[in-house]
Amino acid sequence: MTLSETRINTLLDAMAGRRIAVVGDVMLDRYFRGSVARISPEAPVPVVDVAEESEHPGGAANVAYNLRTLGATPVLIGVVGQDRAGEHLAALLDGLGIGAGSLVVDSTRPTTVKTRVIAASQHICRIDHEERRAMDSGVLDRLVEAVAVQLPTLDGLILQDYNKGVVAATLIPRVVEAARAAGVPVYTDPKYANFFEYRNVSVFKPNRKEAEDALKRELHDEGERRSGAMELMDRLACDSVVLTLGPDGMMLAEREAEPVLIPTRARHVADVSGAGDTVIATLAASRAAGATMYEAVVAANHAAGIVCGEVGTVPVERESLRAALAADLIEGETRSER
């Protein structure tokens, strides 16, 4: 399916100012980029001559960053440590216009930091500083309170789980019930640990591997994927399931409709880092702008294709998405004329 030029512009313009909360594991992504010309004499490993260092919002913070670059207004709710990395992340968010006012500081754990070393567009290694234990009940209470304060102003809420302790089994039903009572749709990007705790959400977006692990069966062909998506929708009592399939695109399952496959729009895959963040952000922003679920998945598919063409975690820009959707429209018209 392609969207008309008028529809593309209407939806993308309507994303502006839509307030969407992101509740989840925030991270600081650090990058060391350089070149490799020799092997270390100390061990058979490459020596990277660093030419550039940078810091970026990661995890749930990257979802918020994608919302910001799409024109929406993100409200980021998560946990950082009382450390320099947390200060760096807060300053970074403020500089990007996202804000860190709803972040909870927990002095008992570090801010999650992922450091990537890249040379010649290739990942050499990743170094993680993190604590994966469950959050203390007091911290979870503060997170729920932060959500409650924002709910009256929200057009959507994303639960973004990376198994770092924020999206705990005890937090999920409290946030989902409060959001639904307020009429705020909930979009979920799950991980395996609490997979079946996300009942009654609006949109449930696992990738194929996560779904296979949870269902304990393979989802290789289209029939298996259709039945898997329908089973997830029934077991979770959610409104729709978006099953991401990597190079095969996305499967959308909705109630009262047959599941449909939307083929991938990636033209060149350089790096899949952050693609899932972009997908959930685009889904939520599109729906908040008035898109149907099918239109939202089409937009998310194009957005994922854009960021997969870049090395490292990067957000999708609204104008880049506009251009990609418009290019697809032109290609569709050209094919129909042949």
Compute the distance between CA of residue 10 and CA of residue 2 in angstroms, rounded to an integer: 14
Both tokens of 26, joined, read 């925030």
Per the annotation, the verdict on 277 as an active-site residue is yes
Backbone phi and psi for residue 159, each to the nearest 5 degrees, phi listed first: -100, 110
DSSP secondary structure, 186-254, as one string: EEEE--GGGGGG-TT-SEE--BHHHHHHHHTS---SHHHHHHHHHHHHHHHT-SEEEEE-GGG-EEEEE
CB 143 within 8 A of CB 105: no
Cα 68–Cα 33–Cα 71 angle in degrees, nearest 5: 10
Both tokens of 314, joined, read 């990067």
Compute the distance between CA of residue 294 and CA of residue 194 in angstroms, rounded to an integer: 27
Compute the distance between CA of residue 64 and CA of residue 157 in angstroms, rounded to an integer: 11
Selecting among 29, 155, 271, 277, the annotated active-site residue is: 277
DSSP secondary structure, 68-83, as one string: HHTT-EEEEE-EEESS
Residue from 280, 316, 287, 28 nearest 161 by CA: 280
At 21 the three-state DSSP class reads: strand
Strands 19-24 and 203-204: unpaired
CB 156 within 8 A of CB 184: yes
CB 205 within 8 A of CB 242: yes
Cα 167–Cα 198–Cα 57 angle in degrees, nearest 5: 40
Residues with a catalytic annotation lie at: 277
